[in-house]
């Protein structure tokens, strides 16, 4: 699904990881919840109606159900649980970051622009610099404003570093 290859949602886990797949469904518009649940899950219609009737922040629970159920159908229950756990770790501080998208790097001393390209957060150095200049990149929850920033040992204090693009795209760098 999607209009461009970059914006596409692939069923193949090599092209869209189970975590990214889960997050796609987790971030659907509120108005789409009932349609998605009724067309793409095997939940009883009474449950679909109940979930779709939730309002305000409670609709997020329905989105979590949709994301889990659809990911389970495509990638299996184990991968759906891992995707859910990674999302919970990132957004609510519960669970493990073990299953979030990650990239192994050979050297902790890497320029932030190069790190963004390795993590496939940005397709080019110019796009990476633009994201940084616009305040769209964080490293371990700290905004990065210097395009010449060099990652170092201190950025990997937990054994990994978390890159974040905007509010919803996370990527773990591991050495």
Instruction: Write down the pLDDT at residue 52.
Output: 95
What would the pLDDT profile of 100-157 be if each residue is shown by its tens digit?
A: 788 998 888 999 999 999 998 999 999 999 999 999 999 998 999 999 999 999 999 8
Mean pLDDT within 165-171: 85
Q: What is the pTM of this model?
A: 0.67
The top-scoring range by mean pLDDT among 2-16, 99-113, 128-142, 157-171 is 128-142
3-state DSSP assignment of residue 76: coil
Q: Determine the pLDDT at residue 3.
A: 47
Mean pLDDT of 12-21: 88
163's tokens:
């890159």
Give pLDDT, residue 169: 85
Q: Exposed, middle or buried: residue 26 (CB in 10 Å: 0-12, 13-18, 19+)? A: buried
Mean pLDDT of the chain: 89
Side by side, the strands of the sheet bearing 169-174 are: 102-104, 169-174, 160-165, 137-139, 142-143
Q: Which of 109, 110, 87 is nearest to 99 (CA)?
A: 87
28-45 mean pLDDT: 96
pLDDT of 7 strictly over 70: no
Taking residues 67-88, what's their average pLDDT?
93
Domains and CATH numbers, the chain: 18-92 (1.10.240.10), 102-174 (3.10.290.10)
């Amino acid at each position: 699904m999607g209009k461009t290859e970059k914006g596409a949602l692939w069923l193949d886990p090599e092209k869209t990881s189970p975590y990214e797949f889960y997050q796609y469904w987790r971030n659907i518009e509120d108005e789409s919840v009932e349609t998605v649940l009724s067309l793409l899950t095997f939940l009883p219609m009474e449950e679909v109606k109940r979930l779709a009737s939730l309002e305000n922040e409670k609709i997020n629970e329905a989105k979590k159900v949709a994301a889990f159920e659809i990911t389970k159908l495509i990638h299996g229950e184990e991968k759906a649980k891992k995707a859910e756990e990674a999302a919970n770790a990132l957004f609510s501080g519960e669970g493990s970051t073990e299953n979030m998208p990650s990239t192994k790097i050979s050297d902790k001393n890497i320029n932030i622009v190069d790190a963004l390209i390795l993590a496939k957060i940005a397709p080019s150095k110019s796009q990476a610099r633009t994201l940084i200049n616009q305040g769209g990149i964080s490293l371990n929850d700290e905004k990065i404003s210097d395009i010449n920033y060099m990652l170092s040992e201190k950025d990997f204090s937990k054994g990994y570093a978390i890159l974040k693009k905007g509010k919803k795209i996370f990527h773990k760098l591991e050495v």
